[in-house]
Structure 1
Amino acid sequence: MSNPGDQDDTPIASVEQLASHLAVGCKPREDWRIGTEHEKFGFREPGQAQPSWSPPPYQPDGIADLLGAFATDTSSWEPIRDTGQLIGLKGLGAHAGGSISLEPAGQFELSGAPLASLHETEAELRDHAAALRPHASRLGLGFAPLGFHPTATREQMPFMPKSRYAIMRRYMPLVGTRGLDMMLRTCTVQVNLDYASEADMARKLRVSLALQPVATALFANSPFKEGRPNGLLSTRAEVWTDTDNARSGMPRPFFDEGFGFGRYVEWVLDVPMYFVSRDNRLIDVAGGSFRAWMAGRQPGLEGFRPTLGDFDDHLTTAFTDVRIKRFLEMRGADAGSIPMMVAQSALWVGLLYDDAALAAADALVREQPWEAYIAMRAQVPAQGLHGPWAGGTVRDLAARMVAIASDGLASRGIMDAGGQDERRHLSPLLPIVQGAPNQAEHWLERYRGDWAADVTRIFAEAAI
Structure 2
Amino acid sequence: MTLTDRILSSILSNTKAPEDRKIGVEIECLYYTKEGQRLPVNIGESFSAQAMKDELEQKFSKTATPPHISIEPGGQMEWASPPHTTLFDVDKSLQQYFGYTEEIADREELIQLDLSLEPFFAPEDIELINQNKYYHMHNRFSLTGELGPWMMRNTTSVQINLDYSSLEEAEEMAFVADCITPLSSMMFSHSPFWNGKPANMENLRYRIWNNTDNERCGSLMGFGIVEKKGLLESFSRLVQMTPAIFIRGTDDELLPFDGPMGKWLQLLEDANALSDDIIQLALHQLFTHVR
Question: Structure 1-normalised TM-score?
Answer: 0.58
**In the alignment, what sits opposite 2:254?**
282
The correspondence for 2:287, drawn from 319, 326, 343, is 319
Spell out the pairing of 1:381-420 with structure 2 (5 A cutoff): none
- 1:24 paired with 2:8, answer no
Contact 1:66-1:136 within 8 A present in 2 as well: no
- The alpha-carbon deviation at position 211 of structure 1 amounts to 0.5
Equivalent in the alignment of 2:235 = 264
- What residue number does 2:22 align with? 33
Specify the alignment match of 2:43 in structure 1.
Answer: 59
Q: Name the CA shift for 1:116/1:292 in 2 (closer, same or farther; >3 Å).
A: same
Cα pair distance change 1:304/1:136, threshold 3 Å: farther
Distance 1:305 1:223, change over 3 A: same
Cα RMSD after superposing both structures: 2.2
Structure with higher Rg: it is 1
Given candidates 174, 182, 185, the residue that maps to 1:213 is 182
Given that 2:220 and 2:290 are in contact with CA atoms closer than 8 Å, whether structure 1 keeps it comes out as: no
| Structure 2 counterparts to residues 289-300 of structure 1, below 5 A | 289-296=260-267
TM-score (normalizing by structure 2): 0.90
Change (3 A) 1:117 1:303: closer
**How many residue pairs were aligned?**
284
Give secondary structure in 2 for the equivalent of 1:255: coil
Cα deviation code 1:106-146 (max 9, x no counterpart): 00000111001111111111111101112233222222110
How many Å apart are 1:56 and its aligned residue? Answer: 1.2
3-state SS of paired residue (2:210) = helix
| In structure 2, distance between residues paired with 1:225 and 1:266 | 36
Residues 41 and 149 in structure 1, CA contact (< 8 A), matched pair in contact too: yes
What's the CA shift for 1:36?
A: 0.5
Q: Structure 2: which 5+ residue stretches go unaligned?
A: none
Tell me the amino acid that sits aligned with residue 132 of structure 2: S
- Contact 1:42–1:107 (CA<8 Å) still a contact in 2? yes
Amino acid at match of 1:66: M
1:305 Cα deviation (Å)? 4.5
Offset, 1:257: 4.9
Q: Which of residues 129, 148, 164 is equivalent to 1:195?
A: 164
Structure 2 equivalent of residue 42 of structure 1: 31
Residue of structure 2 in register with 1:462 after alignment: none
Please identify, of 175-184 and 52-61, the stretch whose mean Cα deviation from structure 2 is larger. Answer: 52-61
CA contact (8 A) 2:119 2:196 kept: yes
On the 8 A contact 2:3/2:266 being kept in 1, the answer is no
% identity of equivalent residues: 24
- Which residue type is aligned with residue 52 of structure 2? L
User: 1:365 — aligned with what?
Assistant: none
Runs of 4+ residues deviating >6 angstroms: none
